[in-house]
A and B are shown apart, each in its own frame.
Chain A
Amino acid sequence: MGNGVKKFMYVNRRAPYGTIYALEGLEVVLIGAAFDQDVCMAFVDDGVFQLQKGQDTAESNMKNFSPTYRALGDYDVNKLYVEKESLEQRGMSEDDLLALTYEDEDDDYKEKPSIRIVNREELADLMEQQDIILNY
């Protein structure tokens, strides 16, 4: 492969707090956005909790970094695949997730949702299409 555009997928499979993987994973995505690659994110297993709305970390003295996900759209990171089965196993639905959006510059800057719910099979197909998968 040359130095052209590659497909990067960042797979988030851990809860937002408890370990630093989610936070440091997000840092990679934000820095990586400057490289103009074809980027998407996947949220599976406890990783779906990263996108849960109404996070309150005051009691645990952890830094609540969930507002940072709202910035992803401005960084052209607008394909956030959330696995349906992982949501269901945790008694969650799309309504429990942050309403993340981006402005589609190819469609008169119309505001569109970044989160796409996909099932396990669809996610496997998406993974198959990637050049690089980084796991957090």
Chain B
Amino acid sequence: MKFGILVNEGPYQHQASDTAFNFTKAALDKGHEIVRVFFYHDGVNNGTRLTTPPQDDRNIVNRWGELAKEYELDLVVCVAAAQRRGIVDADEAKRHGKDADNIAEGFHISGLGQLIEMGIKADRVMAFGD
């Protein structure tokens, strides 16, 4: 089955991103296809490489990046939600005259159209977080 994954909450405060990750991994292990993982609302905060959790805790951001690398996953951070919350890649930093970018490896910033397209392509869209 083709799944689209929507993550609507940031890391750590809510378990949504953990559950989405576990679901995604389990689906891949069972041989299902992940069309895309789309990060919206505060979910865009899953895509900053500046996250520094305590060493004895899971690193939610890196974990997504590693899974993306292993399975060539498309991790998309919504541009409109990202701009509001200060998640920036090199292009966005340049366009808006920012002095830094912070997008994590494996993630990329794109438009809301990617969410709709994910819905069209997937057999099921699974939304995680309120």
Contacts and interface: CB of A to CB of B under 8 A. Distances in A.
A32 interface: yes
Interface residues of A, number: 18
Nearest to B113: A31
B116 A37 contact: yes
A8 interface: yes
A62 interface: no
Chain B residues touching A, range? 10 to 19
Interface in B92-122: 111-113, 115-117, 119-121
A30 B125 CA distance: 19
Given A8-B116, A27-B112, A28-B115, 16 more contacts: A6-B119, A6-B120, A8-B119, A20-B84, A24-B40, A24-B80, A31-B111, A31-B112, A32-B112, A32-B113, A34-B113, A37-B116, A131-B119, A132-B125, A134-B127, A135-B127
19 contacts: A3-B120, A3-B121, A6-B119, A6-B120, A24-B41, A24-B80, A24-B81, A27-B112, A28-B116, A31-B113, A32-B112, A32-B115, A35-B116, A35-B120, A37-B116, A132-B125, A134-B6, A134-B119, A134-B125
